[in-house]
Amino acid sequence: MYDIKSFYEASSVSDAVDALVREPDAEIISGGTDVLIRVRNGRDTGKALVSIHNLNEWKGVRLTEDGDLWIGAGTAFSHITADPLIQRYVPMLGEAVDQVGGPQIRNVATIGGNICNGATSADSASTMCTLEAEVVLSGPNGQRVVPVCEFYTGPGKTVRERTEVCTHFLIRRENFEGWSGEYIKYGKRRAMEIATLGCAVRVKLSQDKTRFEDVRLAYGVAAPTPVRCRAAEDVLRGCAVADSQAAAAFAKTALTEVNPRSSWRASKEFRLQLVEELAKRALHAAVQKAGGIPYA
């Protein structure tokens, strides 16, 4: 049984915002793969739900006139993975969200819900951080844009106000053109598993594919929120792709920027081991995808 006060089907994003303003305990729902679990478990019982599940205006993937990638927050994971624009420009994102749950979950769960849920274990989060995606929110005071790296404030918490609706994400063309990347999810099982640790690496190589022009590194479950490791990125920028010592320093430096905890899934010590090892593995794979020859 689900203890729900009321259920309202919004006709537009603005209608959803109005409904959230009218009902002080209302909560947005789309796929419901997170919200309904919280209701069933007694955390959000008795709340009014405002559904935006059937709004086509916040679904799909397209290129803007400026060549940026627009991703609707209501786009289901399976649609993101299969989308031709995702496969062409940011296949890493499609591969990351294809590791969420099982096919049933991926067919209904949305990228907007995955980000706005605020979980550090979200498989889309670390990849979106390395893409420097922008979160676009609509609320009673209009629209605002928040960099995804500034979106999270704590475990399960974000800057999104209760009366705001996440409508879409923007990935600027300079953040995907000429870049390649790899996301590695470590879990106890190969599927239907929440990440013990997630590691995302993106690289931009020199024209001759021998040096790192730029690099980005982000983790999930390595801190209370998804975290970018900017000091580690600085270590590797400008180095030769075949430099094994630089790659090792890159992974070691990441250890100084994370703060994992012990849980029933894994100890802090094991997660720290994963932080270092997955950084090297994801970097190696990202270089190969970019057409470079990585360290042996």
The rounded distance, in Å, linking the Cα atoms of 289 and 112 is 27
Q: What is the pLDDT of residues 49-91, one digit of tens each?
A: 899 999 999 999 999 999 999 999 999 999 999 999 999 999 9
Amino acid identity of residue 138, one-letter, is: S
Residues 260/254, Cβ–Cβ less than 8 Å: no
DSSP tag of 21: H
Domain boundaries, the chain: 4-49, 58-174, 178-289
How far apart CA 180 and CA 71 sit, in angstroms, is: 19
In this predicted structure, what is the pLDDT of residue 211?
Answer: 98
Q: What is the pLDDT of residues 126-137, one digit of tens each?
A: 999 999 999 999
For domain 58-174, the CATH class is: alpha beta
Among the listed residues 290, 64, 57, 287, the one whose alpha carbon sits nearest the alpha carbon of residue 172: 64
Helix, strand and coil percent figures for the chain, each rounded to 5: 35, 25, 40
91's tokens: 């296949």
Alpha helix segments (H runs only) across 64-139: 77-82, 84-89, 91-97, 103-108, 111-116, 125-130
255 burial level (CB within 10 Å; 0-12, 13-18, 19+): middle
**178-289 homologous superfamily:** CO dehydrogenase flavoprotein, C-terminal domain (3.30.390.50)
pLDDT at 192: 77
pTM metric for this prediction: 0.94
> Average pLDDT, stretch 263-267?
92
The pLDDT of residue 190 is 74
258 Rama sector, left if φ>0, alpha if ψ -120 to 50, beta otherwise: beta
Region label for 76, one of left (φ > 0), alpha (ψ between -120 and 50) or beta (otherwise)? beta
Confidence tier at 1 by pLDDT (50, 70, 90): low
